[in-house]
Amino acid sequence: MGTAAERPYLNEIYHPENWRKLVDFGCGTLGDMGVHIFDTPYNALELDVPKTITTNCRKHNVFSYPEKNTVTYEFPGTKHTAEILKWIWYDGEGADMQREDLMLPGGEKLHDQGAMFIGEKGRLYLPHYGILPKLIVDGEYQDIDISQFQLDKRDPESEGKKHYHQFVDAC
């Protein structure tokens, strides 16, 4: 329970994953998964601290973090971006997944988690886990020659175990 007040266990409320969205135990979807999803584009674009952050969500309560968030970041430009980079985070059911720039070719559905780089010449779709990026130009997937990039040779089967060990290493 850590520093949280004593309470009875409620199946399907606290576990297996809902605890992440509760104030006493987690840090909401953005704090839980956002930090992992943000890693790749943040580092690839060599971003710094955002100039502004705005959010649209329900009011905070003492039990759980807001869901159905839209959080807009504006970063100063880098050599890889426009003068200002606008970064939008969506989460929760009802998030704005019907935007044309988030549509995938052939009516394919977006994965539950991931990122989409939207550029002037196309889009790069990065599903969060275990799937290679997909390049989209003029509404169609294009082949990507990944031989020029150093790939992380991690084994997806053992990744979960490593995830927990990273926590232990951090402690």
**In sequence order, what DSSP letters do the residues of the chain get, joined into one string?**
-TTSPP----TTTSTTTGGGGBTTT--HHIIIIIHHHHHHHHHHTT--S-SEEEEE-PPP-SSB---S-EEEEEEEP-TTS-SEEEEEEE-STT-STT-GGGPPGGGPPPPSSEEEEE-SS-EEEEESSS---EEEETTEEE---GGGSPPP---HHHHHHHHHHHHHHH-
Confidence bin at 63 (pLDDT 50/70/90): confident
| pTM as predicted | 0.73
- pLDDT band, very low/low/confident/very high, at 83 (cuts 50, 70, 90): very high
Predicted local confidence at residue 105, as pLDDT = 94
Q: What is the pLDDT, as a whole number, of residue 104?
A: 92
Last residue in a domain, options 37, 61, 96: 96
Same structural domain, 75 and 158? no
Q: Are residues 92 and 105 both part of a single domain?
A: no
Quickly tell me which residue has 């951090």 as its tokens: 170
In this predicted structure, what is the pLDDT of residue 49?
95
- Kindly report which listed range (30-39, 114-123, 154-163) carries the lowest average pLDDT score: 154-163
**Higher pLDDT, residue 8 or 156:** 8
Instruction: Choose among 143, 110, 139: nearest CA to 126.
Output: 110
Q: Phi, psi at residue 100, to the nearest 5°?
A: -60, -35
Q: For the residues 84-91, what does the mean pLDDT come to?
A: 90
Q: Are 10 and 90 in a shared domain?
A: yes
- What is the span of the domain harbouring residue 38? 1-96
Do 87 and 119 reside in the same domain of the chain?
Answer: no
